[in-house]
Amino acid sequence: MEDDRLIPLSYISQYYFCKRRAGLLLVERQWKENEYTAAGRIEHEKVHIQGEERRRGAVYMSDMPVKSQRLNLFGRCDMTEAYPDPEGSVFPFLDEKKYILFPIEYKHGNLRSSAEYELQLCAQALCLEEMYNCRIERGALFYIGSHRRKEVVFTDEQRALAEKAAEKLSEMSESGEVPKAESSAKCLKCSLRDICLPDLSGSADEYMKKIYSSFREETE
């Protein structure tokens, strides 16, 4: 696929948070900001300044662009740390030494467990592996609110789930079909709630089923 058809990496976490939300963003290009998305955007703007710093043999690269033609994904790593390691790989953007890469994704709020963010981070690692023919075993989520990081080990299961999301997102993009709404507690803080209308969608489905059922009873 051409680069302009690649899907943003962040949609991996959107997919596992809510498939319909991912569809509204990807297929219908819907967007609406609320207090939660605004706070996250402002915090991210502070870290999205591309640059490189070297300290004690390690290299710290911010806002690093990545992509995967295999997974049809593109995006940027908030921070990618490179540590010297004889078992690592040589990277064209560094020097002739061998390094291992350690991607870090910045997230709004305090330290917590978020499977969808871990899968987004894993997808970043898969992109880096494809681009530079290397192996990345782990990375971290950095929670800006508490100024703490949570290390993530990229298991075979996580890799498979990240790849599955990429595949489903590509299928969604090709078909143009947005998944149906499923109302849950997550809807309360969703910025697309007024566009998605999860409660109305469910009620409408039930309403149409009742009408169809009544029509069949009258005609039988």
Residue-level pLDDT at 29: 83
Same domain, 148 and 48: yes
Taking alpha carbons only, the member of 139, 137, 146 closest to residue 120 is 139
pLDDT less than 70: residues of the chain: 1-4, 31-50, 199-220
Whether residues 173 and 79 share a domain: the answer is yes
Cβ-count burial 38-53 (b if 16+ within 10 Å, e if not): eebeebeeeeeeeeee
User: pLDDT value at position 190?
Assistant: 76
Question: Based on the domain organization, do 20 and 116 belong to the same domain?
Answer: yes
Q: Based on the fold, state whether residues 57 and 82 are members of the same structural domain.
A: yes
- Examine the domain organization and report whether 216 and 119 are in the same domain: no
Looking at the structure of the chain, the number of domains it has is 2
Is the same domain home to 92 and 175? yes
133 and 201 inside one domain: no
E-assigned strands of the chain?
7-8, 51-55, 58-68, 73-90, 98-107, 138-143, 148-153
- Which of 163, 179, 195 corresponds to the end of one domain? 179
Give the range of the structural domain holding residue 214, as residue numbers without chain letter.
Answer: 180-220
State whether 30 and 101 are in the same domain.
yes
| Tokens 């894993």 found at | 122
pLDDT at 112: 83
